[in-house]
Amino acid sequence: MCDIHQGAHSHQTIDPAAAEMIEKANRENIETVWDRYEQQKPQCGFGDLGLCCRNCLQGPCRVNPFGEPKEGICGADADLIVARNLLRTIVGGAASHVDHTFMAVQCLKEASEGKAPYPLKGTAKIKSVAAKLGIPTQGKTDTVIAQEIARAALADFGSSTDDPMNWLKATVSPNLMETWGKLGILPKNPDREIRTAMHQTSMGVDGSPINLLLSSLKMGLVDGYAGLQMGTDVQDIIFGIPEPVKSEANLGVLSHDKVNIVVHGHMPEVSEKIVEWARKLDGEAIKAGAAGINIAGICCSGNEVLMRQGVPLAGNYLSQELAIITGAVELMVVDVQCFMPSITKVAACYHTKVVTTTPIGQLPEAEYIPFTPENADIKAQEAVRMAIAAYAKRDPSRVQIPTQKSEVWGGFSVESIVGALAKVDAANPLKPLVDNIIAGNVLGAVGVVGCNNVKIVQDQQTVEMVKDLLANNVLVVATGCTAHALAKYGFLSPAGAKKYCGEKLLAVLTAVGEAAGLGGPLPGVLHMGSCVDNARIGDLLGALAGYLGVAIKDLPVAASAPELQHEKAVSIGTWAVALGVLTHVGLVPPVLGSPIVTKVLTADVEGLTGGKFLVETDPHLAAEGMLNHIRAKRKALGI
Ligand code: NFS
Ligand code: SF4
């Protein structure tokens, strides 16, 4: 592996730290994601259009958009094949989030029963979640209420009725229940919906592209409420509701003289424990000759521990190999999702240890330390001690840590945003924000979310698009790897607000920031967390719509995944469209092979939910499209 090398390629990233590490990889003959992308070219045109089917063993079948054959062996045409493939993609995304959430719920159950070493830190969230679920709290301890919340969550997974999921019913407004009810897309037991969708898309079942698209919307809701919402609620109960916290972002956060541990993946049950024990075992690292232990995060694990622990961000999805290529990482701990199978191969070129922690997330060359909620303390110590032992094997002659790092503020939960606004108007916290939206000082808001994708110059679309939005006084909230991207260029800091925001938006951010005691503006881009935390954006939209007495689809807002990569980004985007939000994607998803699917997703669905997809690969045109949408929504509201 260390000697396969395809040479340097330009146009990979706008991040100088990443570029420096790509150069180092080339010098050291280490293959990266960009090299493997080159080897895959040209990628299959049928697949790109969504026109290949492997759903039965008579295939693979491919249909030709420009001629023959027009059907697969069973008679499935382009529209059907594309619609089936899309639903399976969304099932993949929803299943990832729902499984993540299920593990968090198990952790809550065991923690609340005193069987797992996680003190429940989100006491306010226990109250608010119990209230929305209708769980009586009077005379009960937090622990008892938390047990009941865990049972309520598990009841959604155990339900065998045709009633919609309780967690969804407890979260959304009556108008959404009505819209989704009429469309017949209210999800029942999420596991059952996932099973049914796999069945529906198998050979010889559903032949209706429209019916499959409705199931896609339903699967978006499965993700939205059994993945994102339940996950965020439960994680806040266990680990605490995030509060604004200052840290740093980019590869420059790695340390020359400390043991570097990188947490990567998604599950705070794992990353929080690694952080806790890294802090507790700092003395052992010092005894081993290091200056202590430094923790940094990649992908959504990074977002989770930034928000609650102030741990710095090392980099987003495309930077995961590059962190190891610094030669300074002793240990990378992964759990589930978004870690490339290549990381153990890159690690083998250095002294870096990779630890896997879950039964479903194994890498053959890694050390497997099976984490469970009960044994988390013991396993976290084992992993941290492995990092300390590896420090002695670091080869200083191969260490090169880029100097780049930027100030970042994380932890803008809805609760903390409302808390900051309450400093302006304690009785009516949403009023200052809404008044400024009505006055046009805040033109609207856009949630910029999602991944990096090797097909797109790393961070470029995100940064260019967000510059245009902020300059036009649009408030931006960010999650996932997009939040990392924006963090690296200073967008998530007060200085970034001054640099990038239009005058009117800056004035609002300054007023709120100063009232909240930050001594300056809030960042122009508010970091709302990991991808599961997109539920926070849904909560904020719900609160704003409720305050104004309108539906979410009427708000001057949009969503964007400029550099989407994972199936999860597609399922989150579908949830946003179901909510009634215009949702931009910066890369053409594999649906163009079907005229029907393309038209429904980018036009007709608006008549059903109020939302639709906007496909635009140019960041400036994407910003313009969202700005036009925001202006039209303002006009319709008469503001
Ligand atoms: Ni979201 Fe998080 Fe990143 Fe994309 Fe992957 S880490 S769940 S999927 S790549 S943003
Ligand atoms: Fe071909 Fe139909 Fe089988 Fe798909 S389900 S592989 S189109 S025969």
566 lines ligand 1 (CB under 6 A): yes
Cβ neighbours around 502 below 10 Å, total:
17
467 lines ligand 1 (CB under 6 A): no
Mean pLDDT calculated for residue range 151-157: 98
Atom of ligand 2 nearest to the CA of 59: 6
Cα torsion 174, 178, 181, 187: sign: negative
Confidence of residue 380 (pLDDT cuts 50, 70, 90): very high
C-alpha 54 to ligand 2 mean position (Å): 6
C-alpha 205 to ligand 2 mean position (Å): 11
Structure tokens, 234: 């439960």
**Nearest-CA neighbor of 187 among 172, 201, 202?**
172
299 lines ligand 1 (CB under 6 A): yes
pLDDT at 581: 98
Q: 428-449 burial, b for 16+ CB within 10 Å, e for fewer?
A: ebbebbbebbeeebbbbbbbbb
| pLDDT of 351 over the 60 cut | yes
C-alpha 227/C-alpha 536 separation (Å) is 12
Mean pLDDT calculated for residue range 241-263: 98
C-alpha 19 to ligand 1 mean position (Å): 21
pLDDT at 4: 39
Cα torsion 442, 447, 451, 453: sign: negative
Angle of helix 567-579 relative to helix 534-548, nearest 10 degrees? 10
531 lines ligand 1 (CB under 6 A): yes
315 lines ligand 1 (CB under 6 A): no
Rounded to 5 degrees, what are φ and ψ at 149?
A: -65, -45
| pLDDT of 3 over the 90 cut | no
**Protein residue whose Cα sits closest to atom 8 of ligand 1:** 566
C-alpha 75 to ligand 2 mean position (Å): 8
Mean pLDDT calculated for residue range 380-384: 98
| pLDDT of 7 over the 80 cut | no
Minimum-distance ligand to the CA of 570?
Answer: 1
Contact indicator for 617, 588 with CB cutoff of 8 Å: yes
Q: Quick one: three-class SS letters along 202-224?
A: CCCCCCCHHHHHHHHHHHHHHHH
C-alpha 173 to ligand 2 mean position (Å): 41
| pLDDT of 456 over the 80 cut | yes
Mean pLDDT calculated for residue range 48-74: 97
C-alpha 496/C-alpha 407 separation (Å) is 9
pLDDT mean across residues, the chain? 97
Residues in contact with ligand 2 (CB, 6 Å cut-off): 53-56, 58-59, 61, 72-74, 76, 203
C-alpha 213/C-alpha 596 separation (Å) is 10
pLDDT at 10: 53
Mean pLDDT calculated for residue range 142-163: 98
C-alpha 71 to ligand 2 mean position (Å): 9
Minimum-distance ligand to the CA of 561?
Answer: 1
pLDDT at 518: 85
Mean pLDDT calculated for residue range 331-338: 98
Secondary structure letter of residue 260 according to DSSP: E
450 lines ligand 1 (CB under 6 A): yes
**Nearest-CA neighbor of 179 among 630, 545, 556, 559?**
545
pLDDT at 1: 44
Kindly list the strands in the beta sheet with 444-448, ordered across the sheet, starting from the edge strand earlier in the chain. 525-529, 474-479, 444-448, 557-561, 582-585, 612-615
C-alpha 449 to ligand 1 mean position (Å): 9
**Protein residue whose Cα sits closest to atom 6 of ligand 2:** 59
Mean pLDDT calculated for residue range 473-483: 98
Give the pLDDT confidence of 176-219 residue by residue, as tens digits: 999 999 999 999 999 999 999 999 999 999 999 999 999 999 99
568 lines ligand 1 (CB under 6 A): yes
C-alpha 143 to ligand 1 mean position (Å): 32
C-alpha 561 to ligand 1 mean position (Å): 11
C-alpha 590 to ligand 2 mean position (Å): 18
Atom of ligand 1 nearest to the CA of 266: 2
C-alpha 567 to ligand 2 mean position (Å): 22
pLDDT at 516: 87
Taking the whole predicted model, whether its pTM rises above 0.85 is answered as: yes
Atom of ligand 1 nearest to the CA of 482: 10
pLDDT at 390: 98
Confidence of residue 376 (pLDDT cuts 50, 70, 90): very high
**Protein residue whose Cα sits closest to atom 2 of ligand 2:** 74
Mean pLDDT calculated for residue range 248-267: 98
72 lines ligand 1 (CB under 6 A): no
| pLDDT of 9 over the 80 cut | no
317 lines ligand 1 (CB under 6 A): yes
Return the percentage of the chain with pLDDT > 90, whole number: 98
**Protein residue whose Cα sits closest to atom 9 of ligand 1:** 451
263 lines ligand 1 (CB under 6 A): no
Atom of ligand 1 nearest to the CA of 565: 4
C-alpha 216/C-alpha 574 separation (Å) is 7
Atom of ligand 2 nearest to the CA of 71: 7
**Protein residue whose Cα sits closest to atom 3 of ligand 2:** 56
Mean pLDDT calculated for residue range 455-463: 97
Atom of ligand 1 nearest to the CA of 338: 5
| pLDDT of 517 over the 90 cut | no
pLDDT at 127: 98
Helix or strand holding residue 496 (H, E) = helix 494-500
Mean pLDDT calculated for residue range 360-366: 98
Mean pLDDT calculated for residue range 276-302: 98
Rounded to 5 degrees, what are φ and ψ at 444?
A: 175, -165
Atom of ligand 2 nearest to the CA of 60: 6
103 lines ligand 1 (CB under 6 A): no
33 lines ligand 1 (CB under 6 A): no
484 lines ligand 1 (CB under 6 A): no
100 lines ligand 1 (CB under 6 A): no
